[in-house]
Each structure stands twice: as C-alpha cells, then as structure tokens.
Amino acid sequence: MSRVYNFSAGPAALPTEVLEQAREELLDWRGSGMSVMEMSHRGKEFMSIAEQAEADLRELMGIGEGYKVLFLQGGASLQFAMVPMNLMGSAGKADYINTGAWSKKAIAEARRYGKVNVVASTEESRFTTVPAADTLSFDENAAYVHYTPNETIGGVEFPYVPETGGLPLVADMSSTILSRPVEVEKFGIIYAGAQKNVGPAGLTLVIVREDLIGSPIAGTPTMLDYGTHAGSGSMYNTPPTYSLYMAGLVFQWLKRKGGLAAMAEINRRKAEKLYAAIDASGFYSNPVDPVCRSWMNVPFTLADPALDATFLAEAKEAGLVTLKGHRSVGGMRASIYNAMPEEGVDALIAFMAEFERQHA
C-alpha cells in the first residue's frame, strides 16, 4: 500500500527515512539482540541513545550549558500545571497572553496555583491575530510570562518574541519547535509535546533554565518537580523509551537535512505557496491576519460549507488525509510540519484547484 500525505495536527507524520530506520532496527538495535522497546532504561545501550538524543537536540537548537534538557511524559497539558508549580514561588502570580484554545487551557490550569493576570487577549477577534508587541505590559513582580507562539487550532502565530523586561519567558512550542532556529537564551522555559515535529506521542521536551529549578510551591508532587528530573537525567522513573529513541532519529534526520536554518527555508516556502493558493482563490479563504499566519497549521474554509464532506472524501481518494478542521472551528486545516514534504503541499494545492474548478 502506498503512503498518503498526512496533514494531521498531531500525532502527525514522521519522516519516511526515520520510519525506515526504525523498521530496520526494530528487532535488533545495532547488534544488541534487542528491540529498543525491550531495553532497560538504565542499561548502557539505552543510556547511549538518550545521551545522543540530548546532544543532538542541544546542537540543533543551540542550547547552552545554563539549561537542562528534560525528556518527560504527560504532554504539554501536564506542563500547564508543572510550570506554575515550579515557578509561581513566593510571587504567587504570573502573566499570561491569551491567543487561542491552548493559551486558555494553560491559563485555567495556572489559576489553580496562584493569581493569573491575562495581560492581553485576542478572543474578541476570534483569535485571528496576536497582540501588537508594543501593547504588551507586564507586572514586574510576576513570577513569569507565559505565551503560546503558535496556536495549532486557530493557525495563528506570533511573528515576534515578547520582550518581558527580564521576567522569565515560558513558551508552549509544541507545534513550532524544531521548525526554525530559536534564540533559546530569550526563554526561561520552552516545552513541547513531541507528536507534531519531534516524534511519536508520549514524549514531552522541557528546556528549562537552571536558575528556575529548585523552588517548587509547597505540596508539589515529587514527579512534578523539575528538580527531580534534572537531578536524575530524566531517569527518575522509566521514561517513554521508544518515543525518546524515535525523537533521537528525528534529530539526526534534521541534522542531515541541514539543521533548523535549512528547515526554516523549506517550511517558509511550503506555507507561502499554500497561503498564496488560498488567497488567489475566491473559493477558499483563511481568516487569520496575514502577519500572524502560522507556518505549521493552515486553516481554511470553503465558500460553501455544504461541500466540506465532499472535499474531504475526494481528498482522501487522492491520498490527502486528515484535512478536517478542529471541531471547535470547522472547515479544513492542513498541518504542514517538518515531515510533510514539499511535494505533499504541491499535491494539496493541485487538488484544491481541481476541486474548485469542478465545484465553484
């Protein structure tokens, strides 16, 4: 059976080269006589996998020695709680920017542990833009500032990194991590669920500045203390070993592709051509402010919503799958993460043009 072009928002497509390598190593990882799924997480074989994965991620992102890299579980959703548990401290309050569904969930969770000040919200625009950089004002006594650089559901993305005046900046980068270079030193914490640009579901990356570790609020469970995992090399308990191994293969694939600068150029080109096709059409539309359009998640609607089911069915026949928009917003959504080849975007654009010709 031939493989389809999978536009899922997550779990998302993985690079074919990575899947092929994993298949070759499935029963016997490099002469060990074992699958990675069968290895002790404390054995020398798996420890070498984990150490290489961290080294490769640090190289790709330029992560300095002042940061810990943690391989955790629970997804970005658990980080909605772990961040305030570990950072609220004596301040008891934090600033949040609300630009969509995932921001709102982070805000709701943080309110369990302290005062949340929503310094800006774009809900009135139906989350089709982000606040202008010069309109943001933060509480100098806040423990940190939290934002979501890319909202997967709405397809809206910050074109800038907020300046916080020295407050730790926390970013949920689940849908943009590794899609382009990032200045890690601008952030106190970067966290991301793996199932979009990194690897299979089950793994969560947390890049945390060392000075932010060690002062959790009273009552924080051992497993939710960053210090627990930083002090044990992410091996306090059994990590998601196979997901970590797969992420390591993705890191090596990215290095072979030329790193994040090369990936950024490809991703920019993919997004620009898809938005250009939508904008040139009277049949399709995208609601997001062009300045804030996501490179990773491209929502669009058809002029006649009654054609949505037909569009999805015919797209599937053409080998283009999981294009249905999130249930909260409807329409279509094409998620074009790193593993989506440019040919897949070209195939989608060609299909959209033919569908419009037949149904407009």
Instruction: Residue 157: name the closest of 170, 167, 145, 171 by CA.
Output: 171
Instruction: Residue 149: name the closest of 141, 140, 158 by CA.
Output: 158
Number of H helices, E strands in the chain: 9, 14
Neighbours of 261 (CB within 10 A): 9
Active site (annotated) includes residue 255 = no
Which residues on neighbouring strands pair with residue 191, listed in sequence order? 172, 206
- Kindly give, in sequence order, each residue whose CB lies less than 8 Å from that of residue 346, ignoring residues fewer than 6 positions away: 273
Strand segments (E) across the chain: 5-6, 67-72, 93-98, 115-121, 145-147, 150-151, 156-157, 169-172, 189-193, 204-209, 284-285, 297-302, 320-321, 332-335
- Of the candidates 104, 196, 270, 324, the residue annotated as catalytic is 196
Active site (annotated) includes residue 105 = no
- Of the candidates 56, 95, 104, 172, the residue annotated as catalytic is 172
Tokens of 72: 């955790």
- Of the candidates 29, 56, 68, 102, the residue annotated as catalytic is 102
DSSP 25: T
| Pairing between β-strand 67-72 and β-strand 204-209 as defined by DSSP bridges | antiparallel
- Kindly give, in sequence order, each residue whose CB lies less than 8 Å from that of residue 101, ignoring residues fewer than 6 positions away: 127, 151, 153, 154, 326, 328
Active site (annotated) includes residue 102 = yes
Contact (Cβ atoms closer than 8 angstroms) between residue 203 and residue 240:
yes
Contact (Cβ atoms closer than 8 angstroms) between residue 106 and residue 167:
no
Task: Give me the phi and psi of 68, to 5 degrees please.
Answer: -100, 140
How far is the C-alpha of 286 from the C-alpha of 342, rounded, in Å? 20
- Rounded (10°) angle between helices 342-359 and 259-279: 10
DSSP string, 167-205: SPEEEE-TTTTTSS---GGG-SEEEEESTTTTSSTT-EE
Residues serving a catalytic function are 102, 172, 196
